[in-house]
Chains A and B, each alone.
Chain A
Amino acid sequence: MPASAAPSTPQQYLQSLSRWHPIEIAFWLATLTPFLLFPTYLSLASQIAVAALFALSLDLILGYAGIVSLGHAAFFGIGAYTAGLFSKFVWGEPLSGLLVATAMAALVGYASSFIVARFRHLTLIMITLGLGLLLAEAANSAGWLTGGSDGLQGVDIWPLLGLFKFDLYGTTAYAYSLSVLFVVFLMARRLINSPFGLALRGIRENWVRMPAIGADSRSHIRKVYTISAGVAGIAGAVIAQTTSTVSLEALSFERSADVLVMLVLGGAGRLYGGLVGAAIFMIARDQFSGIAPQFWYFWIGILLIAVVMLLPNGILGGLSKILARWRGR
């Protein structure tokens, strides 16, 4: 955090930390380019926006509160199945479906947060992994509800706002997922710059000190876990609504691992880390879609080893380091 602006009061200093940077504005303008320049890639762009949402939700717990989860797909899947079932059994209006799916994921997140907040380290990793696998198995067994391994049938989403159909070209899909991503991003940005955001960074920086300054870390963790679960649910709901399909893959361990890779690749603990990581990951996967999945994972594996050994703060962390060095000279 450069003190270059030389703020006159501590309050103005803290205010300056949350100011919009021109690069941020450029970033969001760039997200509009697929409409004009790559109209054939709108479906992919929509998937990227969903992956970015999901990575953002993981960033809230991993990047800001230091909770390693190997089962975050649970909430993505809950959001996806809730949105799908809602359209099947209630009605197909997408925005209300999105709200219900978010609430459902947040509710389950809140319930499991009481378990998660009790643990650290390996036990925490195992608990998140275990709960995720448990849910995936449950969805697989409950074929009467979820359609099991055939996927959920009969998802029918009405036009957005009664006007825009989710068509094959993906124009509506991308506009919808990008808008949702942007709104959620704004809220996440506000959260990170809030008193609660500071408390989360405190948990990440020093778990032991928090109680010694009177902080109830567990209650903070319950809260952020609930919020994160809700955001993951939004991501799942959007993918279900824009593709009109829900499959068990939404709950799978691979999805939990992929989102972790995206976030770490981009840089955890930075709002844009998950967004950048998701874009690179999804574009790369699209480009290499011809190769067999296990060889795709070969490169993911090499990448993970390289990131841990060489780029501990992800691509954005590496970039900001280079930038700082360049400025220093």
Chain B
Amino acid sequence: MSAATTSLTRPGRSFGGRAFRFLDRYLLVIYTLAAVLYLMLPVVVMTMFSFNHPTGKSNVVWQGFSLNAWLHPFEVSGLQKAVATSLGIAVLSTTIATSLGTLIALALARHGFRGRAVTNLFIFLPMATPEIVLGASLLTLYVAIGVPPFFPLNFLTILIAHIMFNISYVVVTVRARLAGFPTHLEEAAADLGANEWVTFWKVTFPLILPGIMAAALLAFSLSIDDFVITNFTGGTITQTFPMLIYAKTRIGVPPQVNVIGTIIFVTAVGLVALSTLVSRAQARRDQRLARRMVADEASGE
């Protein structure tokens, strides 16, 4: 694409033309780099302040380099428990929402049925509702029920909320993957005598697995970072990592929190990089296999 664009640039002979061409070629690049720096700046600051040596409770002014927070990450009371709670909720809500959402995506992409339009709208609505309204309305339901396990608010009430807001995102992600695949592979399997169960596990599922993985990754990151909905559905018994950060903002966030934030960031980036490398290797292998099959066929004839 970039080659095509450059060839379209008209050669400018005058100074103005040359200046325009220079700007055209480099200005956008400079702008893009500046924008990326702007986006990453808070992440850099967060990481930097995990090495801070704050004198008081507040960790907003740089005082000096220290490894203390990294060496004793769980020195802050409640931090270890909050991180464990967040991870637990993220794993469970991702697993359940990904399963439920994938089934809906399959129905929408592979089956014609009455009520499709309504279903589409129903999936879209939770994503169009502000988080604060999602959290608040669930809270009114829990309060109206008013008995355990829904009240007082606890781990389960948070988990229910996270599954709820994750389902729509999973449906949209998996459906996008399914939409890209023609049904003829599944038809071929059926022609070769596979029943629907076998066709699903041997053909459809491997094809949409990357989509399911992407959806799970999205659901996990939405869940582990959610504050607003969790704050409404969480109460005082259970504290997640974002809830702990918020509680600490009044008295000063200790650098240990930045350590955990940095670890989460590095792990997530690492996972995405790894999955990209794996899928690239897979694509290369598929290509080689296809080429060999073509070659075998040619030599066979």
The yes or no verdict on A and B being binding partners is: no
A residues at B contact (CB < 8 Å): none
B residues at A contact (CB < 8 Å): none
